[in-house]
Structures are given as C-alpha cells and as structure tokens.
Structure 1
Amino acid sequence: MRHSKAFLKSPVNAAVLEEIVRKIVEAFRPERIILFGSYAYGTSTQDSDVDLLVIMDTKARPAERSARIAKVCRPRYLAMDILVRTPEEIAKRLKGFDPFLEEILTRGKVLYEAPR
C-alpha cells in the first residue's frame, strides 16, 4: 500500500487521513484514493472539508457509493465530501471535456494506489 502524506502540515490530520484511507482500502479495495481541494492544495482553513475521489469497481448506484464509504469511515472527525467513480467512468469523462476531474487527477494528492 503506497501512501503520501508529506504534504500535510499537521500530524493529527495525517493520522486521521491515514485511518480513513485504511478503512476504505480494507472494506472496498479501491484502485486509487485521491485527496483534492483545499487540503491537497495547501489552502485549508478551520472550515475546510476533506475531499476524496475514490476510484474503484462497483455496481452500486452513484447515490449509494459515497454513503457506503462514509458509513465505513465513521466516526468521522472531519467533514468529508467523497466522490466515487469507476475506472470506466473516469476514462469516459476524460474522453470528453471534464475540467473538474482533470484538475483532481493533475493537482490532487494520491493517498493510496493499489499495487499492480
């Protein structure tokens, strides 16, 4: 399991994120977990939430995906926004023009990547 947490300034935040990643990996075996938004870009404030993109195979409906992951991550000590996409959905959106997804993939910080 590969993790990157050097970008986090607070060891408390790093520990909380490490625990969240561990729980997601154990329960869902994703391909990747990417931190994006203010925590990834070094602009977080007291009011910032943790933004995660989880890339994994799933047959669950989009509305159920984030809820399932959020349930596994309880208790949550940080406000979180979790996006869950399949590898196929990522590829399809990248073929079109999706600047939001492109920013996540280029500027986000990979917290976990499954070994190949």
Structure 2
Amino acid sequence: MSLFHGKIRLIHRIVEVAQPEKIIIFGSAARGESSRNSDVDVLVIKSGANRLDLTGKIYLNLHGVGAAVDVVVVTPEDVDRYGDNSALIIYPALKEGRVVYAA
C-alpha cells in the first residue's frame, strides 16, 4: 500500500470513530519528508471531546492501519486558548500542518 493510500485509510478510521470538526496532519508527513518508517502526527479537533476517552477510541480503531500514528485530541476552545503558545504541540500543528479533513 502506498503512503498516500495509507494516510487516506487512517483519516477514514479517525472520522469513523471521532466525527471531528477537523483533522490536521503535521510534522514530517505535512512537510513531505516522511518515509515508510516515519510516524504520522495527527491533530484531531472535536467539540466537547473527552480527550483521554476519544484518544483511546481512535487508537483502538487505528489498530492494523499499518503506520505508527501519534494522535493529539483537542477542542476548538483549546485551539483558541493555546494555539499561539509555541511551547505546546498545538502550535506547530496549526502553523505547519495540513488540513486533511474538515466537517
């Protein structure tokens, strides 16, 4: 399976379980520098999310997807409040990331 098709499958699996407002791919995958050994960094934005619970559900649904994935779940309020804080992971995700899904 190609990297492109693997990412599409990953996005569909996240949408299936999370129904997010937005999914942003960031890190090496967003910069076009990823390889077969790279992980995929994903920011999932979901209103009213219990971050811990939803993150667990996403990881369970990604089982067998064939890629290492790092998922960060945030609410739109988190983005508004912390999006400009360069010390937090939300910042690079918003600045360099690519929106791959928007509801």
- Do the structures match in fold with TM over 0.5? yes
Matched, 1:32 2:37: no
Structure 2, unaligned runs of 5 or more: none
Matched, 1:91 2:80: yes
In 2, Cα distance between the equivalents of 1:51 and 1:65? 16
Matched, 1:66 2:55: yes
TM-score, normalization by structure 1: 0.76
What is the identity, as a one-letter code, of the residue corresponding to 1:37? G
What is the identity, as a one-letter code, of the residue corresponding to 2:54? R
Equivalenced residues, count: 101
* RMSD over aligned Cα atoms: 1.8
TM-score, normalization by structure 2: 0.84
Q: Report runs of 4+ in structure 1 exceeding 4 Å deviation.
A: none
Partner of 1:16: 6
Q: Secondary structure at the match of 1:48?
A: coil
What is the identity, as a one-letter code, of the residue corresponding to 2:85? D
Partner of 1:113: 102
Q: Secondary structure at the match of 1:88?
A: helix
What is the identity, as a one-letter code, of the residue corresponding to 2:18? F
- In percent, how many aligned pairs have the same letter? 32
Partner of 1:5: none
What is the identity, as a one-letter code, of the residue corresponding to 2:5? A
Q: If you compute each CA radius of gyration, which structure gives the higher value, 1 or 2?
A: 1
1:53-107 Cα offsets, whole Å, 9 max, x none, are: 00012442x333322111112212011100000111111113xx41242321121
In 2, Cα distance between the equivalents of 1:51 and 1:59? 19
The 1:69–1:30 alpha-carbon spacing in structure 2 relative to 1, beyond 3 Å, is same
Q: Secondary structure at the match of 2:73?
A: strand
Structure 1, unaligned runs of 5 or more: 1-10
